[in-house]
Structure 1
Amino acid sequence: MNFQHPLIKNTIWMMGGFSARTVLQALYFLLIARSLGASEYGAFVAVTALVAILAPFASWGSGNLLIKHVARRREAFSTYWGAALAMMSISGSLLTLLVLGVYRLFLPATLPLLLVLAVAVADLIFARFADVSSQAFQAVEKLSRTAQIQALLSVIRLVAAALLFVAPITASALTWSTLYLLTTVITALVALFWVRRELGWGKLDPRPLRSELREGFHFALSLGSQSVYNDIDKTMLSRFVGLEAAGIYAAAYRIVDAAFSPVRALLFAAYARFFKSGQIGVRGSLQWAVKLVPWTAAYGLLTAAGLWLVAPLMSLVFGESFRETGTTLQWLAPLILLKALHYFAADTLTGAGLQSARSRIQLGVAALNICLNLWLLPGFGWLGAAWASLASDGVLVVALWSTVLVIAKEEADAQASAIV
């Protein structure tokens, strides 16, 4: 194996970064869970889940457009970097105001305004700056820095969680949200400093993105839809079932997300290559995807089985208020395999310039997920949320791969006709 090959080298960096982040997240999640309990943790998660749906629109796909242009033409960096920062500053501020105006329609009335404000500012403004900094290094395939930015946030949050656990302060969702905001601000400032020092800067002007607002919207819509079918169930659980149920379900989902980290590392490392190979169409990006899918599918299958086996131990780790987390995790474990399958089909479409097709499918699945949760949550609680998640991700696998294969066949038929 050639460890100097860019994909292998970048994947190792991202796996190292995600592994470190996973361990650190597990530690600070354990501290938070034991400090807050299921109910207060559920309150915090309900807010973050709601904000996560709007977060992609704070960047309007500008980070993805940055990767696309820089992966194809390195000298475009300063133009699209400055445009991305300007777009995020404007959109993030407006969306923060929107959240403050509508959150009572979706969340329990008992949640304090300051909790919502802290999470909104953290995730709609400063987290977006940290993310686009990661994407800047991803665009030039310098994923060592991308990995370091990912890990840095977890290091700082672990320190904050330890402070919450040992300090003589009130451990509540509001207290943790304040620390959450502070850690996000520090990470964003460090990440921006690294970009300026190593890659350069650019004029803060959103106008270079004007001609690509539609494509940027599709990127945002895709990520927003993804947030819906990944996170809206937690917000809906808090509203229709209770904060404790939301906390229990969110804890299990967090474990699944952590177990998915190696696949996510490969996705990060391979993302820019999808744009390069996709310049000739879906067939090009599909050739890249099929080299990677067998490995990730095997990992997904084995890891899902492993999670199912260790799930009964979860209540011993997180405390008595999370006693149902183990059963929840057993139901959610197959998501590892389903996600390992559908993400590569989705990036195949994106790399070939078919983000709109990806967005439409994901939007449809988001709508399906909401309908399933409305139907299942009142009668089945977190179990209904788990069933809705499994159904939604299963539909994604079928819809995305079917679309990829149909378009690839159409391209092949068109080329054959042109030759004749």
Structure 2
Amino acid sequence: VALTSLILARGGAVLAALIVNLITSVGQLLAIWLIYRWRFAPDFAPPGASLRLIELLRRAWPFAVAALLAALQLRLSIILLEIFAGISAVGIFAAAYRFIDAGRLIPGALFGALLPALAARTADPQQRNRLFRRALIGLAGFGVLAAVGFSVAADPLIALIYGPAFAESASILPLLAWGLLFNLMRGGVTLYLYAVARAGLANRIAAGMIVIQAALSLWLIPTQGVVGAAFGWLVAEIAAVLALWRIVSARR
């Protein structure tokens, strides 16, 4: 955080700050691994441990790809905004997007429990599908409430939190808020696909969504600025939900 703040305070680019974040994250991972090897690693490897590790890595690979795609989608709009609209547009967009991050907190707790709950019901598809429907209805209901609330209160919220300098953020908060609805539904459907061992398919949909978001952003940001970035994110989320829902409906 300190290095990122220093870069931005000195007028550095957002891309440079993201690179620093990546480097520090790699450093943290390396430090954790060294601590594990020093204090917690066993003195011997049980028979077949290397094979089990390879199998574990193979199964974990789709989740690593999913994390990479999620990070790319999160930063795509910011990077393209800086390139085509300038650093001030990045600030306007980021200010509105903070409310979306806040809106994800409660559903994020649900996601943490939903995947193991769905996976535990693999042997009983009816029970698993019943749980999935309840979770999706809950996510949709929360998303609608959040979207309506943020849309109605966009102007006073931005004015209260950021002040008049960020008034333009209120114009994109409703677009991002409705995008949150589809983002939450996409998260729920994606977890269902993880539970039925179709993580690779979910990742292909996510990659396609990023392509759509990038194409729309490249088209709209040069002329529409932050509104174009928000609209591109919204349309990409809608497209991903429609594709995922079609696949899940065919399976059930």
Matched position secondary structure for 2:153? helix
Aligned to 1:71: none
Q: How far 1:266 moved relative to its partner?
A: 0.9
Equivalent position of 2:170 in the other structure? 326
Corresponding residue SS for 1:353? coil
Once the two structures are TM-superposed, the CA of residue 395 in structure 1 deviates from its matched residue by 0.9
d(CA) in 2 for partners of 1:285, 1:345? 12
Counterpart among 365, 386, 395 of residue 239 in structure 2: 395
2:67 aligns with: 223
Tell me the distance in 2 between the aligned counterparts of 1:264 and 1:276. Answer: 19
Q: Which moved more, 1:383-392 or 1:288-297?
A: 288-297
Counterpart in 2 of 1:294? 137
Q: How many residues matched?
A: 239
> Contact conserved, 1:226 with 1:366, CA < 8 A, in 2?
no
Matches within 5 A, 1:376-387: 376-387=220-231
For the 8 Å contact 1:315–1:325, the answer to whether it is kept is: no
TM-score by length of 2: 0.81
Does the CA-based 8 Å contact 1:293-1:344 persist in structure 2? yes
Counterpart residue type for residue 144 of structure 2: L
Distance 1:123 1:324 in 2: 33
2:172/2:230 contact within 8 Å kept: yes
**Counterpart of 1:340?**
184
* Structure 2 gap segments, 5+ residues each: none
Q: Is the 8 A contact 2:140 2:181 kept in 1?
A: yes
How do residues 140-151 of structure 1 correspond to structure 2 at under 5 angstroms? none
TM-score normalized by structure 1? 0.51
When residues 350 and 201 of structure 1 are mapped into structure 2, their CA distance, relative to the original with a 3 A threshold, is farther
| 2:147/2:177 contact within 8 Å kept | yes
Flag the 1:281–1:374 CA change in 2: closer, same or farther, 3 A: farther
CA distance in 1, matches of 2:110, 2:194: 16
**2:81 is paired with a residue of what secondary structure?**
helix
What displacement does 1:239 show? 1.4
Does residue 250 of structure 1 match 2:94?
yes
Corresponding residue for residue 24 of structure 2:
122
Which AA in structure 2 matches 1:292? A
Match of residue 147, structure 2, among 297, 304, 316 = 304
Contact 1:42-1:246 at 8 Å conserved across structures: no
Residue in structure 2 matched with residue 356 of structure 1 by the alignment: 200
Kept in 2: contact 1:315–1:324 (CA 8 A): no
Query: Match for 2:21: what amino acid?
Result: V
Structure 1 residue aligned with 2:115: 271
Counterpart of 1:391 in structure 2: which amino acid?
Answer: V
Any gaps of 5 or more consecutive residues in structure 1?
1-34, 48-110, 130-184, 194-199, 409-420
Shift of 1:226: 2.4
How far the C-alpha of 1:42 sits from its partner, in A, is: 9.6
**TM-superposed deviation, 1:258:** 0.5
1:326-378 superposed Cα distances (whole Å, 9 cap, x missing partner): 11212211022212211111100101111111111111111111111111111
- Using a 3 Å threshold, how does the CA distance of structure 1 residues 271 and 125 change in structure 2: closer, same or farther? farther
Pairwise CA distance, 1:125: 4.5
After TM superposition, list the pairs within 5 Å mapping 1:170-189 onto structure 2. none
Computed over aligned residues only, the root mean square deviation of the Cα atoms, in angstroms, reads 3.3
Give the counterpart letter for 1:119 in structure 2: N
State the alpha-carbon separation in 2 of the partners of residues 281 and 371 from structure 1: 41
Tell whether the 8 Å contact from 1:221 to 1:363 is kept in structure 2 after alignment: no
Give SS of 2:121's match.
helix
**3-state SS of paired residue (1:333):** helix
What amino acid does structure 2 have at the position aligned with 1:377? I
Distance (whole Å) between structure 2 residues aligned to residue 361 and residue 203 of structure 1? 40
